[in-house]
Amino acid sequence: MSAVKIYVPCDSAALSVGADRVAKAIAREAEQRGIAVEIVRNGTRGMLWLEPLVEVETAGGRVAYGPVRPADVASLFDVGFLAGAEHPLGHGLTTEIPYFKQQERLTFERCGVIDPLSLDDYRAHGGLAGLEKALAVSPAEIVDTVIASGLRGRGGAGFPTGIKWKTVLGVASDQKYVTCNADEGDSGTFADRMLMEGDPFTLIEGMIIAGLAVGADTGFIYLRSEYPHAHRTLLKAIEIAEEDGLLGKSVLGSKRAFNLHVRLGAGSYVCGEETAMLESIEGKRGVVRAKPPIPAFKGLFGKPTAANNVMSLATIPWIMAHGGPAYAAFGMGRSLGTLTIQLAGNIKRGGLIEKAFGVTLREIIETYGGGTLSGRPFKAVQVGGPLGAYFPESLLDTPMDYEAMAKAKGLLGHGGMVVFDDRVDLANQARFAFQFCAEESCGKCTPCRIGATRGVEIMDTIIAGEDSSKTFQMLDDLCDLMTDASLCAMGGLTPVPVMSALTHFPDDFRKVPEPMRRAAE
Amino acid sequence: MPAYRPWNAETASAIINELKSMPGATLPIFHALQNEFGFVHPDIIPEIADALNISRAEVHGTLTFYHDFRTELPGRRILKICRAEACQSVGCEDIVSHLEAAHRISMGTTTDDRRLTVETIYCLGNCALGPSIMLDGEVIGRADTDLIDDICHSRRNERIGAEA
């Protein structure tokens, strides 16, 4: 009998709850029982509350068990989990788990399925099909395919990726660059990390295609230093890709070259802003540049640069392989394709959910998430990272697409959702938004640098109960100013969490309604 | 657990020489120095400026801009506690208050015995399994005060690897 394949994720979320110990326990137990097993360290499927999620390959498909602790391993062997037998931790076939089954996995089609560092596995699961097509057509045709897909930048701004590429393609230059923004600093987001750890070749393939499309032979991945595991995986993947002729002088034997480098950030949130990121790659302080010129004309080292997010680039291989219209068939309105939602915070079933645009916040929190982790009543969800809005229960039927979120005075950002139970105080959260902005501001523009600190002071006054209509007027004015006059989204969007908290949760601000205040005065 | 070598100007020069031809070498040099010695000694700034043909002010400015880079030797273990929104929602601030109340360790400090440095970090990308901490570069999810006690007392705990 050949060895049974057992999958134990090596994603850092799984590792953070003991996946390595579980893998060791399985190997030890199998050896003691004299059973031949092959342990594959895959990425995560994204059902993070089930981590460490152990899967066993059976004739009928992969059967899931989780969350597995080292102490559970003996009993798994006892019941015969190697044949997919039932166990209190068992969930049946992985692909039949409703959380997973109801998703539309395009960007993440291979993540959690394959060995992240096996190019053979990657090829066997449809990898490189997009690149092969891209090598057979002209740069303009690649750009047209991406435009037809309707793909919009997944970093948060939502600018059409194809249009950006068309601009870079149209600029004549002896040197152009592709940069990948992997400075995933938003709290509540982990899609980039999950993909880089679980299916790094998809990102590499996407970057090569971007290089072919815009005429760049060099790419940089700017990775945040908080992701050491993703760093190791990327470096290893690039080494393998170079050995295999995927990267280097001749991409897959063609006449096109593409070299890829990884640069580590150093704990600065604002370096997720594309021009600050370019400065940081150049070895400088991560200070935002004034635009124009946009990076497409004058980007990294002053050269035309296609600057894209991990998710945008990692979606390109699927689009090239299946065609623009196939991707555009998902989604709604002007938000086409799929969104990788990251459900996090105080939530029972947190994880990554890739769905076509248009799913409501309620469906994600209630149907997928199963309510709060604490079991206490839901109070608020912050959508789109630290610069996103806090929504109350009454707005949970808002669909997740760029326009609908903007209409609700929020933003989609990088697709993160952080759920809070009834113990959260939204005035404190508003204060934190200013405090975070003060700590992370690059300092170039006054509204952000000074405004954030003034914001903390105003919030302190409000929280201390020194309530006067003037304080709230000042808060309003400050938010208007920061919105209108900041150089980038850091200062420009900090008012979003603040004002949404104030609008939807006025009680937390101990705000006395206007008529009562007048009577009191 | 990181075992840093004592600061050595010759080794530092060798690191700078090896990396100086990279495009945008400043951050890679800082990272390499910090990996080796645990910090970047400010005395090395003129040499980096020379090697990269930029001003000392630019090197100093870059070194001090980023939260990651230290200019002093940290403790033997480095504990980073995530205090961003997702971890706030599951009580990371309770861990911070516990550190102060039970162990008299404030964020951003090193203990007098140099055993532990505690820092704030904003997001480890483990937001569905918070509160998250990072101990010597390893992310640990679902952290609680018991785990923090074990770290502070250097007690054996399978979740935190080898004891100090």
Kind of pairing, strands A378-383 and A416-421?
Answer: antiparallel
As given in the structure block, the two tokens for residue A472 are 């709230």
Q: What is the rounded (10 degree) CA torsion for B145, B148, B154, B160?
A: 110
At residue B163, the pLDDT reads: 40
Of B67, B128, B132, the CB nearest to A268: B67
Q: Determine contact: B68 vs chain A, CB below 8 A.
A: yes
Q: What is the CATH number of the domain that holds B108?
A: 3.40.30.10
> What is the residue whose two structure tokens read 């004002």?
A499
Which of residues B40, B65, B90 is at a domain's end?
B65
A189 to chain B, minimum CA–CA distance in Å? 6
B57 falls within a domain:
yes
Based on the structure, what is the number of domains in chain B? 2
Q: Are residue B92 and residue B54 in the same domain, yes or no?
A: no
| Helix/strand/coil for A296 | coil
Of A193, A282, A342, the CB nearest to B24: A282
Cβ-defined contact of B26 to A432 (cutoff 8 Å): no
Q: How far apart are CA A10 and CA B72, in angstroms?
A: 33
Q: Are residue B94 and residue B125 in the same domain, yes or no?
A: yes
Of A186, A347, A374, the CB nearest to B128: A347
Low-confidence ranges of chain B (pLDDT < 50): 162-164
| Helix/strand/coil for A14 | helix
Q: Determine contact: B62 vs chain A, CB below 8 A.
A: yes
Q: Are residue B82 and residue B137 in the same domain, yes or no?
A: yes
Q: Which residues of A179-206 are buried (b: 16+ CB within 10 A; e: fewer)?
A: bbbbbbbbbbbbbbbbbbbbbbbbbbbb
| Helix/strand/coil for A513 | coil
pTM: 0.96
At residue A516, the pLDDT reads: 55
Give me the domains of chain A, ranges plus CATH numbers.
4-100 (3.40.30.10), 119-328 (3.40.50.11540), 331-421 (3.10.20.600), 426-520 (1.20.1440.230)
Of B122, B127, B158, the CB nearest to A269: B122
Picking from B59, B60, B67, B85 by the largest number of A CB atoms within 10 A of its own CB, the best residue to mutate is B85
Low-confidence ranges of chain A (pLDDT < 50): 521
CA distance to A228, A265, A267, A285, A491, per residue, from B67 (Å): 16, 10, 5, 11, 19
Q: Determine contact: A233 vs chain B, CB below 8 A.
A: no
Q: Are residue B97 and residue B40 in the same domain, yes or no?
A: no
Q: Determine contact: B140 vs chain A, CB below 8 A.
A: yes
Q: Determine contact: B56 vs chain A, CB below 8 A.
A: no
As given in the structure block, the two tokens for residue A13 are 């979320």
Cβ-Cβ contacts under 8 Å, B142 against chain A:
16-17
Q: Are residue B81 and residue B148 in the same domain, yes or no?
A: yes
Q: Determine contact: A421 vs chain B, CB below 8 A.
A: yes
Q: Are residue B93 and residue B43 in the same domain, yes or no?
A: no
Structural domain span for residue B51: 9-65
B92 falls within a domain:
yes
A132 to chain B, minimum CA–CA distance in Å? 30
Instruction: Report helix angle A139-149 to A310-322, nearest 10.
Output: 100
At residue A466, the pLDDT reads: 80
Q: Determine contact: B35 vs chain A, CB below 8 A.
A: no
Q: How far apart are CA B85 and CA B77, in angstroms?
A: 25
Share of residues in chain B with pLDDT > 90 (%): 91
B3 falls within a domain:
no
A470 to chain B, minimum CA–CA distance in Å? 29
Cβ-Cβ contacts under 8 Å, B157 against chain A:
none
At residue A2, the pLDDT reads: 80
What tens digit of pLDDT does each residue of B105-148 get? 999 999 999 999 999 999 999 999 999 999 999 999 999 999 99
Cβ-Cβ contacts under 8 Å, B160 against chain A:
none
Contacts (Cβ under 8 Å, ≥6 apart) of A332: A356, A357, A358, A399, A401
B132 falls within a domain:
yes
Q: CB–CB of A429/A456 below 8 Å?
A: no
A227 to chain B, minimum CA–CA distance in Å? 7
Q: Are residue B97 and residue B58 in the same domain, yes or no?
A: no
CA distance to A73, A257, B76, per residue, from B152 (Å): 30, 51, 12
